Amino acid sequence: MKRVHGRAIYLATIVAIFGLVGGFALASIALSTTSQNAEGNYVNSSGAVGGLVYTSTVLGATPTPAPAASTGTALAPQTVAGGVNAFCATTCNPHDYAEVITYTFTTSMTGSVQISIDVSTSVSTGTATIYLAQATTATSGTIQITWDLGSASLTLNSVTLTAQQCTGAAGACP
């Protein structure tokens, strides 16, 4: 039987610890350029709304001109039109790092929808809620929500998206 030296055991333990810590580090994304397209395991999307489908989350830069904030409220959701509907979830400054979240909707989306967005970075955490409604004459298109992450280097830890159908009085959101 071959004897294992204490130094080999210590070395194997250190390698195992680095591997474990490295796995956790891979679950977050360090931002240093806006050319990184890092959709990955840091995005969690949930909720089931008929006619509304989460499509993607892409890391990039806030477009120029920056999209405006949604004017919808829980009692008066903003109506979406056919084609692209672009909204800013936070204060958007052109060329900042940004997460661009995309949903597609079809004519089968009815009533009002609430989309909640939670973002966690090494600098801060934040939450935004957007209230939308299908047009009187049903249409289809995309919803693009831009979350401005700022201009400084940071680590993006998680993006959590939740879409839900509003079922309150007259379709009002909770």
User: What pLDDT score was predicted for residue 10?
Assistant: 54
- How much of the chain exceeds pLDDT 90, in percent? 43
**108 or 19: whose pLDDT is higher?**
108
Q: CB within 8 A of 51, min separation 6: which ones?
A: 105, 106, 107, 108, 109, 110, 134
User: What pLDDT score was predicted for residue 8?
Assistant: 52
Residue 25: pLDDT over 70: no
Residue 14: pLDDT over 60: no
pTM score, whole prediction: 0.76
Helix-, strand-, coil-residue percentages of the chain, each rounded to 5: 15, 45, 40
- At 57, is the pLDDT very low, low, confident or very high (cuts 50, 70, 90)? confident
